Structure 1
């Protein structure tokens, strides 16, 4: 087994163990976060069977993914980074899933872009679960209004997303996001990264966003 396949198998194994420990009978989707990595670094993961990939920037994704998706049908592209409203149209054209819907102006822009393009990527509302000034995501108190606006605008909202504060125990934040999702009748939970994805799966993650555990350190 080559190194890429070994890393992929290790992450899948961690997800499977967490699902078993949580007595879950559903699945947790692995999104390989390929931001900053070029096509040559991504192709081995595609060859090993990975099909869901995450990018932080619309422009970077537009540079490398059209060729990769032409080579391999079935790629599902996730936008996991912050999205500027003026990039909404490009994001709707390029991505299959958008994880970072976090403010009214972006909801409006995405709604218009979906009508204009006829494409309707699945969406997650990003919640600023740790109330950190430097992070994207809507405040917990603003979630009901933003969710109502997104639904009114025709966005296919399937769940919530968060990035917990760094260097603290993430479990309470994952548990809070899971409660918020239940309160709003949302099944999707996009939470967990390389350092904490097993904990996220234990607490209900349906999508984990893993980068360094698959690709190694970024330059």
Structure 2
């Protein structure tokens, strides 16, 4: 399949799920997760007109996206992986959105970088929705305090992000994140990947992070 075909297939899934939920498909941002994939694999999607991409590691993002951003205008880069506080300035310098804000030290580092550069990437607070010790994200009980800290620090809060536990039905976790977002007064929901994008959109996702369904399995 060509990049156009792969994008069309995912967009069709998003549109069908959105219609079921009586939502507008254009209200869902498709983030093509290009982490670990080389420039040559990314370029066909840019040529097909896609502009939102996700990377895990800031250093990899800088190496790949500086030349691609010069070649293709209007690209929007989303940092979706765990972010070390000492990489916050680099992330703010290159990212249009950061989806993994999950602790006080990172909030402070991002706020300092925003003040220094004037760049204001959209920030999603990552919630450890399944209370899994091996995953990033703040505990559900800690979210109100962390959101208050982020707002006080002047971060542009776009919404919440989660990665549900693997191998189980994601729907209850997506529904829970949507409920928490309503209670906390935030609009954005970064949730849903290749296997469960349909469920995520039905339950209110505003941003979906799709990798393998577009680029194939990572090496």
CA offset digits 1:32-81 (Å, max 9, x no partner): 00000011000000011110000000000011101000001100000000
Alignment partner of 1:105: what SS?
helix
| RMSD between aligned residues | 0.7
CA distance in 2, matches of 1:91, 1:7: 28
> Is residue 2:173 matched to residue 1:205?
no
> Is residue 2:126 matched to residue 1:90?
no
- Alignment correspondent of 2:57: 57
For structure 2, list consecutive stretches of 5 or more residues without a partner in the other structure.
none
- Alignment correspondent of 1:127: 127
Alignment partner of 2:27: what SS?
coil
Q: TM-score, normalised by structure 1?
A: 0.98
> Is residue 2:16 matched to residue 1:17?
yes
CA distance in 2, matches of 1:61, 1:67: 10
Alignment partner of 1:114: what SS?
helix
CA distance in 2, matches of 1:111, 1:131: 27
CA distance in 2, matches of 1:139, 1:160: 12
Q: How does 1:1-219 map to 2 (within 5 A)?
A: 3-25=2-24, 27-219=27-219
Q: Shift in Å at residue 116 of structure 1?
A: 0.7
CA offset digits 1:105-149 (Å, max 9, x no partner): 000111111101111100000000000000000000000000000
Q: Shift in Å at residue 6 of structure 1?
A: 0.7
CA distance in 2, matches of 1:187, 1:36: 30
Q: Shift in Å at residue 4 of structure 1?
A: 1.5
Give the length in aligned residue pairs.
Answer: 218
For structure 1, list consecutive stretches of 5 or more residues without a partner in the other structure.
none
